[in-house]
Chains A and B, each alone.
Chain A
Amino acid sequence: MRDVAVIGIGITKFGELWDKSFRNLIAEAGAKAIIDSGISGKELNAIYVGSMSAGRFIGQENIGTLVSDASGFSHLHIPTVRVESADASGGLAFRQGYLSVASGMNDIVVVGGVEKMTDVIGIEATDTLATGLDQEWEAFFGSTLAAEYAMIATKHMHDYNTTREQLAQVAVKNHANGALNPNAQYRRAMPIESILRSPMEAYPLSMMDSAPVSDGAAAVILCPADKAKKYTKKPVKIIGSGQASDTLALHGRKKICTFESTVKAAEMAYRQSGKKPSDINVAEVHDCYTISEILAIEDLGFIKKGEGGSAIDKKITTLDGKLPVNTSGGLKSKGHPLGATGIAQVVEIVTQLRGDADQRQVKNAKIGLTQNVGGVGASCVVHIMEGM
Protein backbone atom coordinates (compact mmCIF):
# COMPACT_ATOMS: atom_id res chain seq x y z
CA MET A 1 0.00 0.00 0.00
CA ARG A 2 1.47 3.32 -1.00
CA ASP A 3 0.82 6.79 0.46
CA VAL A 4 -1.86 8.94 -1.12
CA ALA A 5 -2.18 12.72 -1.23
CA VAL A 6 -4.97 15.20 -1.89
CA ILE A 7 -3.73 17.53 -4.63
CA GLY A 8 -6.86 19.49 -5.53
CA ILE A 9 -10.12 20.60 -3.94
CA GLY A 10 -13.33 22.17 -5.22
CA ILE A 11 -16.63 23.11 -3.60
CA THR A 12 -19.82 24.90 -4.60
CA LYS A 13 -21.80 27.27 -2.42
CA PHE A 14 -24.17 25.29 -0.18
CA GLY A 15 -27.76 26.37 0.25
CA GLU A 16 -31.20 26.33 -1.37
CA LEU A 17 -29.82 26.65 -4.89
CA TRP A 18 -32.98 26.82 -7.00
CA ASP A 19 -31.03 27.68 -10.16
CA LYS A 20 -28.62 24.77 -9.92
CA SER A 21 -29.38 21.18 -10.81
CA PHE A 22 -27.67 18.01 -9.59
CA ARG A 23 -25.63 18.00 -12.80
CA ASN A 24 -24.67 21.69 -12.52
CA LEU A 25 -23.45 21.17 -8.96
CA ILE A 26 -21.23 18.15 -9.46
CA ALA A 27 -19.79 19.52 -12.71
CA GLU A 28 -18.90 22.78 -10.97
CA ALA A 29 -17.26 21.09 -7.97
CA GLY A 30 -15.39 18.61 -10.16
CA ALA A 31 -14.08 21.29 -12.50
CA LYS A 32 -12.87 23.44 -9.59
CA ALA A 33 -11.02 20.47 -8.09
CA ILE A 34 -9.35 19.51 -11.36
CA ILE A 35 -8.22 23.09 -12.03
CA ASP A 36 -6.97 23.43 -8.43
CA SER A 37 -4.97 20.22 -8.74
CA GLY A 38 -3.15 21.10 -11.94
CA ILE A 39 -4.00 17.75 -13.62
CA SER A 40 -5.64 17.46 -16.97
CA GLY A 41 -8.97 15.62 -17.10
CA LYS A 42 -7.45 13.00 -19.37
CA GLU A 43 -5.27 11.82 -16.49
CA LEU A 44 -8.23 10.61 -14.43
CA ASN A 45 -8.34 6.84 -13.91
CA ALA A 46 -11.67 6.72 -12.10
CA ILE A 47 -14.52 8.76 -10.65
CA TYR A 48 -15.89 8.04 -7.19
CA VAL A 49 -19.05 9.84 -6.11
CA GLY A 50 -21.05 9.80 -2.91
CA SER A 51 -24.78 10.53 -3.06
CA MET A 52 -27.24 9.29 -0.44
CA SER A 53 -30.55 9.37 -2.18
CA ALA A 54 -30.58 10.70 -5.71
CA GLY A 55 -33.22 8.06 -6.38
CA ARG A 56 -35.74 9.74 -4.09
CA PHE A 57 -34.65 13.37 -4.42
CA ILE A 58 -34.36 13.53 -8.21
CA GLY A 59 -35.73 10.13 -9.23
CA GLN A 60 -32.37 9.16 -10.70
CA GLU A 61 -30.15 6.12 -10.29
CA ASN A 62 -27.09 5.19 -12.38
CA ILE A 63 -25.41 8.15 -10.68
CA GLY A 64 -21.81 7.15 -11.47
CA THR A 65 -22.44 7.40 -15.19
CA LEU A 66 -24.49 10.58 -14.80
CA VAL A 67 -21.63 12.32 -12.97
CA SER A 68 -19.09 11.36 -15.62
CA ASP A 69 -21.44 12.52 -18.36
CA ALA A 70 -22.29 15.82 -16.66
CA SER A 71 -18.58 16.47 -16.17
CA GLY A 72 -17.87 15.92 -19.86
CA PHE A 73 -15.86 12.72 -19.49
CA SER A 74 -18.05 10.22 -21.28
CA HIS A 75 -15.66 10.05 -24.27
CA LEU A 76 -12.92 8.85 -21.90
CA HIS A 77 -15.11 5.91 -20.77
CA ILE A 78 -13.75 6.18 -17.23
CA PRO A 79 -14.84 3.69 -14.57
CA THR A 80 -17.30 5.35 -12.19
CA VAL A 81 -18.37 4.23 -8.75
CA ARG A 82 -21.36 5.61 -6.86
CA VAL A 83 -21.01 4.95 -3.16
CA GLU A 84 -23.84 4.97 -0.60
CA SER A 85 -23.73 4.88 3.17
CA ALA A 86 -26.59 7.23 4.04
CA ASP A 87 -25.01 10.61 4.89
CA ALA A 88 -21.56 9.03 5.16
CA SER A 89 -21.68 8.48 1.40
CA GLY A 90 -19.13 11.27 0.81
CA GLY A 91 -16.67 10.06 3.42
CA LEU A 92 -17.01 6.49 2.19
CA ALA A 93 -16.46 7.57 -1.43
CA PHE A 94 -13.27 9.32 -0.24
CA ARG A 95 -12.10 6.10 1.44
CA GLN A 96 -12.91 4.02 -1.63
CA GLY A 97 -11.01 6.46 -3.87
CA TYR A 98 -8.11 6.43 -1.42
CA LEU A 99 -8.00 2.63 -1.30
CA SER A 100 -7.95 2.40 -5.09
CA VAL A 101 -4.88 4.68 -5.31
CA ALA A 102 -3.16 3.19 -2.23
CA SER A 103 -3.53 -0.30 -3.70
CA GLY A 104 -1.95 0.74 -6.95
CA MET A 105 -5.10 0.02 -8.94
CA ASN A 106 -5.48 3.70 -9.87
CA ASP A 107 -3.09 6.61 -10.00
CA ILE A 108 -5.27 9.72 -10.26
CA VAL A 109 -8.91 9.74 -9.20
CA VAL A 110 -11.52 12.39 -8.54
CA VAL A 111 -13.81 11.84 -5.57
CA GLY A 112 -16.99 13.90 -5.42
CA GLY A 113 -20.01 14.18 -3.21
CA VAL A 114 -23.30 15.76 -4.22
CA GLU A 115 -26.92 16.07 -3.13
CA LYS A 116 -29.81 18.07 -4.58
CA MET A 117 -32.39 18.07 -1.79
CA THR A 118 -34.67 20.98 -2.66
CA ASP A 119 -36.36 19.63 -5.79
CA VAL A 120 -38.79 17.79 -3.49
CA ILE A 121 -41.28 19.51 -1.19
CA GLY A 122 -40.87 19.74 2.60
CA ILE A 123 -42.23 16.54 4.09
CA GLU A 124 -40.74 14.43 1.30
CA ALA A 125 -37.30 15.49 2.61
CA THR A 126 -38.26 14.30 6.12
CA ASP A 127 -39.49 11.01 4.66
CA THR A 128 -36.28 10.61 2.64
CA LEU A 129 -34.01 11.36 5.59
CA ALA A 130 -35.90 8.64 7.43
CA THR A 131 -34.72 6.08 4.87
CA GLY A 132 -31.37 6.16 6.68
CA LEU A 133 -33.16 4.66 9.68
CA ASP A 134 -34.41 1.10 10.01
CA GLN A 135 -37.39 1.43 7.67
CA GLU A 136 -39.26 -1.56 9.09
CA TRP A 137 -38.62 -1.23 12.81
CA GLU A 138 -37.98 2.49 13.40
CA ALA A 139 -39.43 4.65 10.60
CA PHE A 140 -42.48 2.43 9.99
CA PHE A 141 -43.62 3.05 13.56
CA GLY A 142 -43.28 6.84 13.34
CA SER A 143 -39.68 7.66 14.14
CA THR A 144 -37.66 10.30 12.28
CA LEU A 145 -33.95 11.03 11.99
CA ALA A 146 -34.36 13.98 14.36
CA ALA A 147 -36.25 11.80 16.87
CA GLU A 148 -33.49 9.19 16.94
CA TYR A 149 -30.81 11.79 17.66
CA ALA A 150 -33.18 13.43 20.13
CA MET A 151 -33.49 10.13 22.01
CA ILE A 152 -29.69 10.08 22.27
CA ALA A 153 -29.83 13.65 23.60
CA THR A 154 -32.50 12.73 26.18
CA LYS A 155 -30.31 9.88 27.46
CA HIS A 156 -27.13 11.99 27.42
CA MET A 157 -28.92 14.68 29.42
CA HIS A 158 -30.23 12.03 31.84
CA ASP A 159 -26.95 10.14 32.31
CA TYR A 160 -24.44 13.01 32.17
CA ASN A 161 -26.44 16.14 33.04
CA THR A 162 -25.76 17.64 29.63
CA THR A 163 -28.03 20.67 29.19
CA ARG A 164 -30.00 22.19 26.31
CA GLU A 165 -27.81 25.29 26.73
CA GLN A 166 -24.67 23.26 26.08
CA LEU A 167 -26.26 21.76 22.97
CA ALA A 168 -27.24 25.25 21.83
CA GLN A 169 -23.66 26.50 22.33
CA VAL A 170 -22.53 23.99 19.70
CA ALA A 171 -24.84 25.69 17.22
CA VAL A 172 -23.70 29.15 18.35
CA LYS A 173 -20.03 28.19 17.81
CA ASN A 174 -20.70 26.68 14.39
CA HIS A 175 -22.69 29.67 13.19
CA ALA A 176 -19.88 31.98 14.35
CA ASN A 177 -17.46 29.89 12.27
CA GLY A 178 -19.83 29.68 9.31
CA ALA A 179 -20.05 33.47 9.25
CA LEU A 180 -16.39 33.40 8.17
CA ASN A 181 -16.93 30.80 5.41
CA PRO A 182 -17.86 32.34 2.02
CA ASN A 183 -19.44 29.08 0.79
CA ALA A 184 -21.57 28.43 3.88
CA GLN A 185 -25.37 28.28 3.66
CA TYR A 186 -25.72 30.52 6.72
CA ARG A 187 -23.17 33.26 7.19
CA ARG A 188 -24.47 35.02 10.25
CA ALA A 189 -23.60 34.52 13.91
CA MET A 190 -26.61 33.39 15.97
CA PRO A 191 -27.10 34.33 19.61
CA ILE A 192 -27.96 31.49 21.97
CA GLU A 193 -31.47 32.87 22.54
CA SER A 194 -32.47 32.28 18.95
CA ILE A 195 -31.34 28.65 19.25
CA LEU A 196 -33.17 28.05 22.53
CA ARG A 197 -36.37 29.74 21.39
CA SER A 198 -36.67 28.09 18.00
CA PRO A 199 -39.59 25.65 17.45
CA MET A 200 -39.11 22.08 18.60
CA GLU A 201 -38.38 19.47 15.95
CA ALA A 202 -38.12 16.46 18.25
CA TYR A 203 -37.69 17.27 21.92
CA PRO A 204 -35.11 18.16 23.14
CA LEU A 205 -33.80 19.15 19.69
CA SER A 206 -35.19 22.30 18.10
CA MET A 207 -35.08 23.40 14.47
CA MET A 208 -31.93 25.35 15.32
CA ASP A 209 -30.25 22.25 16.75
CA SER A 210 -30.57 20.67 13.34
CA ALA A 211 -28.51 20.96 10.15
CA PRO A 212 -30.53 22.37 7.25
CA VAL A 213 -31.74 20.82 4.02
CA SER A 214 -29.20 21.86 1.38
CA ASP A 215 -28.01 21.55 -2.18
CA GLY A 216 -24.31 21.41 -2.93
CA ALA A 217 -21.32 19.47 -4.16
CA ALA A 218 -17.63 19.10 -3.37
CA ALA A 219 -14.77 17.24 -5.01
CA VAL A 220 -11.11 16.35 -4.42
CA ILE A 221 -8.33 14.92 -6.56
CA LEU A 222 -6.14 12.09 -5.21
CA CYS A 223 -2.79 10.88 -6.46
CA PRO A 224 0.14 8.83 -5.12
CA ALA A 225 2.00 10.93 -2.52
CA ASP A 226 5.34 10.54 -4.25
CA LYS A 227 3.94 12.23 -7.38
CA ALA A 228 1.97 14.93 -5.55
CA LYS A 229 4.57 17.71 -5.69
CA LYS A 230 4.59 17.37 -9.48
CA TYR A 231 1.07 18.88 -9.45
CA THR A 232 0.80 21.17 -6.45
CA LYS A 233 2.96 23.06 -3.99
CA LYS A 234 0.69 22.23 -1.08
CA PRO A 235 -0.30 18.57 -1.17
CA VAL A 236 -1.87 17.00 1.89
CA LYS A 237 -1.14 13.36 2.77
CA ILE A 238 -3.80 10.93 3.96
CA ILE A 239 -2.07 9.24 6.91
CA GLY A 240 -4.98 7.30 8.37
CA SER A 241 -8.30 5.91 7.09
CA GLY A 242 -10.90 4.06 9.13
CA GLN A 243 -14.40 2.79 8.60
CA ALA A 244 -16.83 0.85 10.77
CA SER A 245 -20.46 -0.20 10.95
CA ASP A 246 -22.93 -1.09 13.70
CA THR A 247 -26.58 -2.21 13.98
CA LEU A 248 -28.92 -0.30 11.73
CA ALA A 249 -31.43 0.62 14.42
CA LEU A 250 -30.42 2.65 17.49
CA HIS A 251 -32.42 0.22 19.63
CA GLY A 252 -30.04 -2.58 18.60
CA ARG A 253 -26.94 -0.87 20.01
CA LYS A 254 -25.11 -1.88 23.15
CA LYS A 255 -25.00 1.79 24.21
CA ILE A 256 -27.31 4.63 23.28
CA CYS A 257 -24.82 7.48 23.95
CA THR A 258 -21.77 6.07 22.15
CA PHE A 259 -21.33 5.49 18.43
CA GLU A 260 -19.16 2.35 18.39
CA SER A 261 -18.87 2.92 14.65
CA THR A 262 -17.07 6.23 15.34
CA VAL A 263 -14.89 4.67 18.06
CA LYS A 264 -13.82 1.76 15.84
CA ALA A 265 -13.33 3.84 12.68
CA ALA A 266 -11.22 6.32 14.66
CA GLU A 267 -9.18 3.49 16.22
CA MET A 268 -8.39 2.21 12.74
CA ALA A 269 -7.32 5.66 11.52
CA TYR A 270 -5.26 6.43 14.64
CA ARG A 271 -3.52 3.07 14.42
CA GLN A 272 -2.65 3.44 10.76
CA SER A 273 -1.40 6.99 11.20
CA GLY A 274 0.44 6.35 14.44
CA LYS A 275 -1.33 9.41 15.92
CA LYS A 276 -3.31 9.88 19.14
CA PRO A 277 -6.37 12.10 19.70
CA SER A 278 -4.13 14.68 21.37
CA ASP A 279 -2.10 14.99 18.13
CA ILE A 280 -5.08 16.34 16.18
CA ASN A 281 -4.94 20.11 15.59
CA VAL A 282 -8.29 20.62 13.83
CA ALA A 283 -11.31 18.40 13.16
CA GLU A 284 -14.44 18.42 10.99
CA VAL A 285 -17.12 16.24 12.62
CA HIS A 286 -20.63 15.21 11.65
CA ASP A 287 -22.90 17.67 13.49
CA CYS A 288 -26.19 16.78 11.77
CA TYR A 289 -27.64 17.71 15.18
CA THR A 290 -25.91 19.55 18.02
CA ILE A 291 -25.88 16.35 20.11
CA SER A 292 -23.98 14.63 17.28
CA GLU A 293 -21.01 16.95 17.76
CA ILE A 294 -20.97 16.27 21.50
CA LEU A 295 -20.98 12.54 20.83
CA ALA A 296 -18.28 12.94 18.15
CA ILE A 297 -15.74 14.72 20.34
CA GLU A 298 -16.25 12.03 23.00
CA ASP A 299 -16.17 9.04 20.64
CA LEU A 300 -13.12 10.35 18.75
CA GLY A 301 -11.23 10.34 22.03
CA PHE A 302 -10.82 14.13 22.34
CA ILE A 303 -13.00 14.34 25.46
CA LYS A 304 -13.98 11.75 28.10
CA LYS A 305 -17.41 10.09 27.64
CA GLY A 306 -20.07 12.25 29.24
CA GLU A 307 -17.93 15.42 29.37
CA GLY A 308 -18.80 16.66 25.90
CA GLY A 309 -21.20 19.21 27.36
CA SER A 310 -18.67 20.69 29.77
CA ALA A 311 -16.03 20.74 27.01
CA ILE A 312 -18.39 23.08 25.18
CA ASP A 313 -18.71 25.21 28.34
CA LYS A 314 -14.91 25.33 28.60
CA LYS A 315 -14.73 26.50 24.97
CA ILE A 316 -12.22 23.79 24.09
CA THR A 317 -13.59 23.41 20.55
CA THR A 318 -14.05 27.05 19.50
CA LEU A 319 -11.94 28.58 16.73
CA ASP A 320 -9.35 29.79 19.22
CA GLY A 321 -9.73 26.86 21.59
CA LYS A 322 -7.36 24.00 22.30
CA LEU A 323 -8.92 21.81 19.55
CA PRO A 324 -11.04 23.76 17.04
CA VAL A 325 -13.92 21.63 15.77
CA ASN A 326 -15.95 22.45 12.65
CA THR A 327 -14.10 25.58 11.62
CA SER A 328 -16.11 25.45 8.36
CA GLY A 329 -19.30 26.07 10.34
CA GLY A 330 -20.07 22.36 10.46
CA LEU A 331 -23.11 20.80 8.90
CA LYS A 332 -25.21 23.20 10.96
CA SER A 333 -24.06 26.42 9.41
CA LYS A 334 -22.17 25.34 6.28
CA GLY A 335 -25.10 23.17 5.16
CA HIS A 336 -25.62 19.43 4.79
CA PRO A 337 -26.17 18.25 1.22
CA LEU A 338 -26.06 14.65 2.38
CA GLY A 339 -23.66 13.01 -0.07
CA ALA A 340 -21.47 16.11 -0.36
CA THR A 341 -20.80 16.53 3.37
CA GLY A 342 -18.04 13.93 3.69
CA ILE A 343 -16.07 15.54 0.86
CA ALA A 344 -16.77 19.06 2.11
CA GLN A 345 -15.17 18.04 5.42
CA VAL A 346 -12.02 16.94 3.54
CA VAL A 347 -12.01 20.23 1.60
CA GLU A 348 -12.02 22.20 4.88
CA ILE A 349 -9.24 20.16 6.49
CA VAL A 350 -7.05 20.36 3.37
CA THR A 351 -7.68 24.13 3.31
CA GLN A 352 -6.61 24.37 6.95
CA LEU A 353 -3.50 22.22 6.46
CA ARG A 354 -2.52 24.32 3.43
CA GLY A 355 -2.85 27.49 5.52
CA ASP A 356 -5.53 28.86 3.17
CA ALA A 357 -8.41 29.20 5.65
CA ASP A 358 -8.22 33.03 5.97
CA GLN A 359 -10.18 34.21 8.98
CA ARG A 360 -10.97 30.60 9.95
CA GLN A 361 -7.30 29.56 9.97
CA VAL A 362 -6.13 27.48 12.91
CA LYS A 363 -2.54 28.48 13.73
CA ASN A 364 0.06 25.81 12.95
CA ALA A 365 -2.51 23.28 11.83
CA LYS A 366 -0.42 20.24 10.88
CA ILE A 367 -2.75 17.29 11.50
CA GLY A 368 -6.47 17.28 10.77
CA LEU A 369 -9.28 14.76 11.14
CA THR A 370 -12.63 14.24 9.40
CA GLN A 371 -15.52 12.19 10.82
CA ASN A 372 -18.54 11.40 8.62
CA VAL A 373 -21.50 9.45 10.02
CA GLY A 374 -24.19 7.50 8.20
CA GLY A 375 -27.71 7.52 9.65
CA VAL A 376 -27.78 7.34 13.43
CA GLY A 377 -24.25 6.01 13.84
CA ALA A 378 -24.98 3.04 11.61
CA SER A 379 -21.69 3.65 9.84
CA CYS A 380 -18.75 5.98 10.25
CA VAL A 381 -15.72 6.97 8.20
CA VAL A 382 -12.73 8.74 9.76
CA HIS A 383 -9.71 10.16 7.97
CA ILE A 384 -6.54 11.74 9.34
CA MET A 385 -4.47 14.02 7.14
CA GLU A 386 -1.11 15.75 7.45
CA GLY A 387 0.30 18.71 5.55
CA MET A 388 3.29 17.59 3.43
Chain B
Amino acid sequence: MVDGAVPRFWREIPQRYNLVGNICQSCKKIYFPPREYCPVCRRKSMGKMKDITLSGKGKIITYSIIHTGTSQFEPLVPYPMAIVELDEGPRITTQIVDCEIDQVKIGKKVEIVFRKIQQDGHIGAIYYGYKFKLVDGDK
Protein backbone atom coordinates (compact mmCIF):
# COMPACT_ATOMS: atom_id res chain seq x y z
CA MET B 1 0.00 0.00 0.00
CA VAL B 2 1.29 3.44 -0.75
CA ASP B 3 1.00 6.32 1.64
CA GLY B 4 0.43 9.13 -0.77
CA ALA B 5 -2.58 11.13 -1.85
CA VAL B 6 -2.46 10.05 -5.50
CA PRO B 7 -6.00 11.12 -6.49
CA ARG B 8 -5.56 14.53 -4.84
CA PHE B 9 -2.26 15.10 -6.60
CA TRP B 10 -3.73 14.03 -9.95
CA ARG B 11 -6.62 16.45 -9.49
CA GLU B 12 -4.13 19.28 -9.08
CA ILE B 13 -1.91 18.47 -12.10
CA PRO B 14 -3.27 21.43 -14.14
CA GLN B 15 -2.29 23.74 -11.26
CA ARG B 16 1.04 22.11 -10.44
CA TYR B 17 2.24 21.62 -14.03
CA ASN B 18 0.67 24.55 -15.85
CA LEU B 19 -0.47 27.14 -13.30
CA VAL B 20 -4.12 26.92 -14.31
CA GLY B 21 -6.13 29.28 -12.12
CA ASN B 22 -9.50 30.86 -12.72
CA ILE B 23 -10.98 34.29 -13.38
CA CYS B 24 -14.26 35.69 -12.12
CA GLN B 25 -16.19 36.73 -15.22
CA SER B 26 -17.99 39.28 -13.10
CA CYS B 27 -15.15 41.36 -11.61
CA LYS B 28 -12.24 39.92 -13.66
CA LYS B 29 -10.14 39.13 -10.58
CA ILE B 30 -7.77 36.20 -11.17
CA TYR B 31 -7.28 33.43 -8.59
CA PHE B 32 -4.63 30.78 -8.14
CA PRO B 33 -5.32 28.12 -7.08
CA PRO B 34 -8.77 28.24 -8.66
CA ARG B 35 -11.71 28.94 -6.37
CA GLU B 36 -15.25 27.58 -6.31
CA TYR B 37 -16.50 31.15 -6.49
CA CYS B 38 -15.14 34.68 -6.20
CA PRO B 39 -14.90 35.91 -2.56
CA VAL B 40 -15.68 39.43 -3.80
CA CYS B 41 -18.71 38.72 -6.01
CA ARG B 42 -19.79 35.63 -4.08
CA ARG B 43 -23.09 34.22 -5.36
CA LYS B 44 -23.00 36.47 -8.42
CA SER B 45 -19.92 34.55 -9.53
CA MET B 46 -21.31 31.04 -9.21
CA GLY B 47 -21.09 29.34 -12.58
CA LYS B 48 -19.11 32.30 -13.86
CA MET B 49 -15.60 31.19 -12.94
CA LYS B 50 -13.48 30.41 -16.02
CA ASP B 51 -10.17 28.56 -16.22
CA ILE B 52 -7.16 30.67 -17.14
CA THR B 53 -3.52 29.65 -17.62
CA LEU B 54 -1.05 31.97 -15.90
CA SER B 55 2.18 33.00 -17.58
CA GLY B 56 4.55 31.69 -14.93
CA LYS B 57 6.25 35.04 -14.50
CA GLY B 58 6.37 37.00 -11.27
CA LYS B 59 8.51 38.71 -8.66
CA ILE B 60 9.77 37.91 -5.16
CA ILE B 61 7.76 39.54 -2.36
CA THR B 62 9.71 37.98 0.51
CA TYR B 63 11.83 34.89 1.14
CA SER B 64 13.66 32.73 3.64
CA ILE B 65 16.55 30.28 3.35
CA ILE B 66 15.48 26.99 4.89
CA HIS B 67 18.14 25.08 6.82
CA THR B 68 15.80 22.65 8.59
CA GLY B 69 13.46 21.18 6.02
CA THR B 70 10.57 18.75 6.28
CA SER B 71 11.48 15.11 5.55
CA GLN B 72 10.91 15.30 1.76
CA PHE B 73 13.20 18.29 1.40
CA GLU B 74 16.16 17.52 3.67
CA PRO B 75 18.48 16.51 0.74
CA LEU B 76 18.11 20.02 -0.69
CA VAL B 77 18.99 22.14 2.38
CA PRO B 78 19.83 24.93 2.48
CA TYR B 79 17.23 26.09 -0.05
CA PRO B 80 15.36 29.36 -0.67
CA MET B 81 11.60 29.50 -0.18
CA ALA B 82 9.76 32.59 -1.39
CA ILE B 83 6.38 34.20 -1.72
CA VAL B 84 6.14 35.12 -5.40
CA GLU B 85 3.59 37.53 -6.78
CA LEU B 86 2.62 36.36 -10.25
CA ASP B 87 2.20 39.01 -12.95
CA GLU B 88 -1.54 38.33 -13.03
CA GLY B 89 -1.93 39.12 -9.32
CA PRO B 90 -2.14 35.93 -7.24
CA ARG B 91 0.68 35.08 -4.84
CA ILE B 92 2.18 31.62 -4.33
CA THR B 93 4.75 29.99 -2.07
CA THR B 94 7.55 28.28 -3.98
CA GLN B 95 11.24 27.26 -3.98
CA ILE B 96 13.75 29.34 -5.89
CA VAL B 97 16.29 27.18 -7.75
CA ASP B 98 19.38 27.43 -9.95
CA CYS B 99 21.06 30.33 -8.20
CA GLU B 100 23.37 31.15 -5.31
CA ILE B 101 21.53 31.71 -2.04
CA ASP B 102 22.68 35.29 -1.71
CA GLN B 103 21.21 36.17 -5.10
CA VAL B 104 17.65 35.79 -3.79
CA LYS B 105 16.36 39.30 -3.03
CA ILE B 106 13.01 41.01 -2.56
CA GLY B 107 11.81 42.43 -5.88
CA LYS B 108 13.74 40.13 -8.22
CA LYS B 109 11.90 38.78 -11.26
CA VAL B 110 11.36 35.02 -11.49
CA GLU B 111 9.91 32.50 -13.93
CA ILE B 112 8.51 29.00 -13.66
CA VAL B 113 10.44 25.74 -14.09
CA PHE B 114 9.29 22.11 -13.88
CA ARG B 115 10.76 20.01 -11.09
CA LYS B 116 10.15 16.97 -8.92
CA ILE B 117 8.52 18.22 -5.71
CA GLN B 118 8.01 15.06 -3.65
CA GLN B 119 7.95 11.33 -3.97
CA ASP B 120 6.20 8.67 -2.00
CA GLY B 121 9.28 6.64 -1.02
CA HIS B 122 10.82 4.26 -3.56
CA ILE B 123 7.58 2.45 -4.34
CA GLY B 124 4.93 5.18 -4.48
CA ALA B 125 4.22 7.88 -7.03
CA ILE B 126 6.36 10.89 -7.93
CA TYR B 127 4.79 14.33 -7.63
CA TYR B 128 6.02 16.97 -10.09
CA GLY B 129 5.21 20.66 -10.02
CA TYR B 130 6.44 24.22 -10.13
CA LYS B 131 9.54 25.86 -8.77
CA PHE B 132 10.89 29.22 -9.90
CA LYS B 133 14.24 30.52 -11.09
CA LEU B 134 15.63 34.05 -11.26
CA VAL B 135 15.03 35.59 -14.67
CA ASP B 136 18.50 37.08 -14.84
CA GLY B 137 20.13 33.79 -13.91
CA ASP B 138 23.46 34.06 -12.16
CA LYS B 139 23.90 37.76 -12.78
Contacts and interface: CB of A to CB of B under 8 A. Distances in A.
Is any CB of A less than 8 Å from a CB of B in the complex?
Answer: yes
Interface of A: 123-124, 126-127, 130, 134, 136-144, 146-148, 150-155, 158, 199-205, 249-252, 256
B134 to A, nearest CB: 16
B63 to A, nearest CB: 6
Nearest to A123: B71
Nearest to B32: A137
A123 B74 contact: yes
Nearest to A136: B12
A152 B69 contact: no
B120 to A, nearest CB: 12
A251 B8 CA distance: 21
Nearest to A138: B93
Contacts of B94: 141
6 contacts: A148-B64, A150-B64, A155-B106, A202-B68, A256-B61, A256-B62
Contact of A252 (B63, B64, B91): B91
B33 interface: yes
A199 B93 contact: no
A142 B66 contact: yes
A154 B63 contact: yes
Contacts of A141: 81, 93-95, 117, 129-131
Contacts of A136: 8, 12, 33
A144 B117 contact: no
Contacts of A144: 66, 68-70, 81
Which of A134, A140, A200, A250 is the most central at the interface, judged by chain B CB atoms within 10 Å of its CB?
A: A140
B128 to A, nearest CB: 12
B18 to A, nearest CB: 15
Contacts, number: 108
Nearest to A203: B65
B70 A151 contact: no
Contact of B81 (A143, A155, A205): A143
A256 B83 CA distance: 10
Contacts of A148: 64, 93
Given A203-B67, A252-B91, A151 B82 contact: yes
The range of chain B's interface size is 35 or more
Given A140-B129, A142-B76, A251-B83, 4 more contacts: A137-B93, A139-B70, A141-B94, A249-B93
A127 B64 contact: no
A147 B130 CA distance: 18
A283 to B, nearest CB: 27
B118 interface: yes
A138 B117 CA distance: 12
Contacts of A126: 68-71
Contacts of B63: 151, 154
A15 to B, nearest CB: 21
B50 to A, nearest CB: 21
A158 B105 CA distance: 10
Contacts of A137: 33, 92-93
Contact of A154 (B12, B64, B67, B130): B64
B66 A147 contact: yes
Contacts of A146: 64, 66, 68
A138 B66 CA distance: 13
A194 B123 CA distance: 44
Contacts of B117: 140-142
Interface in B37-75: 61-74
A158 B106 CA distance: 8
Nearest to B79: A142
Given A138-B93, A141-B95, A251-B83, A200 B118 contact: no
Nearest to B107: A158
B106 A147 contact: no
Contact of A251 (B65, B68, B92, B118): B92
A153 B64 CA distance: 9
B62 A199 contact: no
Contacts of A155: 61-62, 106
A31 B127 CA distance: 48
Nearest to B64: A150
Contact of A201 (B68, B73, B130): B68
A153 B95 CA distance: 18
Contacts of B81: 141-144, 147, 151, 202
B67 A199 contact: yes
Contacts of B33: 136-137
